[in-house]
Amino acid sequence: MALVLLAFAAVATPARAQTITTYSNSTTGTINNGTTCTAPLVRNFTVSTSYLVGDVDLGVLATHSWRGDLRITLQSPAGTRVQLVDGDTNNISGDNFNVRLDDAAASTVNTDGNTANHSTSAPPYQNQFAPNAALSAFNGQNAQGTWRLEICDQYPQADNGSFTRADLYITSLPANYADLSLTKAVSNASPNNGATISYTLSVTNASGSPQSATGVTVEDILPAGFTFASASGFGSYNSGTGVWTVGSVPAGTTRTLTISGTVNATSGATIVNSAEITASSITDSDSTPNNGAIGEDDYDSVSFTVAGSRTAGTPPTLVCSAGTTTHDWDSISWSAGTTSGSYALANIGTMNFAIAISGGSFLSNATYGGQSPTRQNVVTGGFSPAQYSIFELVDMTSQSGSVTSTITLPTAVPGAQFRLFDIDYNANQFADRVTVTGSYNGASVTPTLTNGVSNYVVGNSAYGDVVAADTSANGNVVVTFSSPVDTIVINYGNHSTAPTDPGQQAIAIHDIVFCRPTTNLVFAKTSSIVSDPTNGTTNPKAIPGAVIRYCLLVTNTGSATATSVAINDAIPATMTYTPASLRSGTSCAGATTVEDDNATGADESDPFGAAFVGTNVTANTASLAPAAAMAIAFTATVN
């Protein structure tokens, strides 16, 4: 039959000085036993205007009782053919096909599951997926002419369907553009822990680009597992923000940056590092800066896997100047199925322990103490005799499921250390991932994780990749906080190497050793010249008659509350204290609260007291919490 182009219309949408034109074909047709891939259903789109292609998307709506059988191919007027959909790739069985194919989509076509049946109405298209082969193969070609769409059934048996419509979306290039691309390489794909390696980033403006690109930046946030040392090459690199300021890239030019550092992940860890062009002064012919699309040529990533034999690491020594308090599960009760509890810690106060689950459910197993979470001593971490720990046995329904255990302390401790048991891996079931974070007065605190034989560590996360027995120490991970912390969060779930539907998995949280809190009072005295008799307040000097502002600042940098804090400052004979000049606050700049000179009255509870007695300025406070400060300011005149 003759193929008729029905209603192709230009629908212009501004996109960085580009125009998207839509060409539609709604001539219906059958996709049945006769529509084989040697005799496909063909639908054409006619483009009558001459312009360069910057980007192509394709929307297809078809009914079919097994969409995984469909093969879809697009051919440009230049003869370039791209097989966009191949059911063999993902072996999907859901009904119908309602998809806009777009290189920038996050997921690949036919990855939405066998039970996901598509609707039969479009546009707008129900789903947006990346094709099996990139549509960017058409970029830079002249759009004018006939575009040929082929749809066939790879297994033409009892599964039939019909073509409803297709929409071809072509983005035209403006008159002036650049064609930027980014590549990234690593000097050693299998370095040892502690080895020095380097990443090389290259930004190229194609020789056929009509314009130079200026204001070019690249974002390369360095991953955990790589410690930055230096950067060299064109432009400048900020390791804190991950931004490489490239600047100008003329046509036919490549700008290069080398980032050097050391490997700080344990054996078996795979470290992925990605980078993307995030800004440019001019439209790019085939990519959009800073859109996170991994299929575009302005985005690239590389990885390395840490080599060497796996041995259990040696955890840092926990140094506690005031001694330790141990939360020992052997002597503490926990009712099976309970998700929270409060426990008294000697010299610290009451600790709260809470467990929450997302994307899964706790399981009950008599061997491991009954309904989880529970206290058990079957998974022992290699201790003999066996010791108790809190066991979290779960059934995760997806890789994103997790269990979060939060330890909240009444006051910060200078440090803490504990073991996690059974961080391991089981083929086709789970790949344990545990991430430990902390905080101190709301600021993040990062612990040191030490690996076992059955797991590796990247930053503050550990990943299981080998099976560990219930009574083995191989699955242990030691967590060490070497700086003050008041909240500890243990998030347990799966690595991306786990199945999409992980099965039963578990970890155990063993005894926790806390450093007992200590105070650490730091005192500082500062001064500034307010005025003098000659210059007034303009660039005053410390000459006779000058007025000097002093500030006495005491800060508690420890993790325990200091009590009965008092300070004293003797005014020398060369100075005369200014009556009623005492002020208080929590910083020198903020010391504005009026204090009288006699240490009595309501002002002495705000919360600081201050006085001038004889020749001494004194101040006191009943308590000074961790990270809190007391500031006392006053003025005096040079005699």
- Fill in the amino acid letter for 384: S
- Helix (H) or strand (E) segment spanning residue 474: none
Pick the CATH number of 324-515 from 1.10.10, 1.10.3470, 2.60.120, 1.10.110: 2.60.120
Mean pLDDT of 260-285: 95
Asked whether 318 and 515 are in contact (CB, 8 A), the reply is yes
Q: How far apart are CA 334 and CA 342, in angstroms?
A: 10
pLDDT over threshold 60, residue 360: yes
Can you name the residues that pair with 18 across neighbouring β-strands?
15
Q: How far apart are CA 491 and CA 438, in angstroms?
A: 11
What does the pLDDT read at residue 114? 82
Q: Label residue 10 by pLDDT band (50, 70, 90).
A: very low
The two domains 180-305 and 521-638 share their CATH topology (first three levels equal)? yes
Residue 228 in 3-state DSSP? strand
pLDDT over threshold 80, residue 3: no
Query: Domain segments of the chain: what residues?
Result: 14-172, 180-305, 324-515, 521-638
pLDDT over threshold 70, residue 571: yes
Tokens, residue 512: 């926790």
Tokens, residue 284: 């790019």
pLDDT over threshold 70, residue 359: yes
Name the CATH superfamily for 14-172.
Galactose-binding domain-like (2.60.120.260)
Q: pTM of whole model > 0.75?
A: no
pLDDT over threshold 70, residue 183: yes
Q: Label residue 199 by pLDDT band (50, 70, 90).
A: very high
Q: How far apart are CA 558 and CA 517, in angstroms?
A: 7
pLDDT over threshold 70, residue 6: no
CATH number of 180-305: 2.60.40.740
Percent of the chain with pLDDT strictly greater than 90: 83
pLDDT over threshold 90, residue 598: no
What does the pLDDT read at residue 605? 63
pLDDT over threshold 50, residue 39: yes
Mean pLDDT of 463-468: 96
Q: How far apart are CA 617 and CA 632, in angstroms?
A: 9
What does the pLDDT read at residue 277? 98
What does the pLDDT read at residue 285? 81
Can you name the residues that pair with 61 across neighbouring β-strands?
98, 165
Percent of the chain with pLDDT strictly greater than 70: 96
First to last CA, the chain: 110
What does the pLDDT read at residue 603? 64
**Which position has the token pair 């500082």?**
524
Mean pLDDT of 212-237: 97
Tokens, residue 272: 């992925």
Q: Label residue 92 by pLDDT band (50, 70, 90).
A: confident
Per-residue pLDDT tens digits for 483-541 = 999 999 999 999 989 999 998 999 999 999 999 999 999 999 999 999 999 999 999 99
Altogether, the residues listed in the chain come to a count of 639
pLDDT over threshold 70, residue 111: yes
Q: Label residue 371 by pLDDT band (50, 70, 90).
A: very high
Strands (E), 5-77: 14-15, 18-25, 29-31, 41-47, 53-64, 70-75
DSSP 315: P
Mean pLDDT of 626-636: 95
What does the pLDDT read at residue 8? 30
Q: Label residue 1 by pLDDT band (50, 70, 90).
A: very low
The chain-wide mean pLDDT, for the chain, equals 92
Mean pLDDT of 557-580: 93
Q: Label residue 165 by pLDDT band (50, 70, 90).
A: very high
What does the pLDDT read at residue 367? 96
Q: Label residue 468 by pLDDT band (50, 70, 90).
A: very high
User: Strand 97-101 and strand 127-129: pairing?
Assistant: parallel
Asked whether 64 and 97 are in contact (CB, 8 A), the reply is yes
Pick the CATH number of 521-638 from 2.60.40.740, 3.30.70.270, 3.40.50.620, 2.40.40.20: 2.60.40.740
What does the pLDDT read at residue 601? 67
Q: Label residue 632 by pLDDT band (50, 70, 90).
A: very high
Who wins on pLDDT, 66 or 476? 476
Tokens, residue 276: 């993307």
560: which residues sit within 8 A by CB, 6+ positions away?
411, 412, 516, 517, 518, 519, 626
Residue 179 in 3-state DSSP? coil
- Fill in the amino acid letter for 86: D
pLDDT over threshold 90, residue 301: yes
- The greatest distance separating any two alpha carbons of the chain, rounded to the nearest whole angstrom, comes to 112
pLDDT over threshold 70, residue 602: no
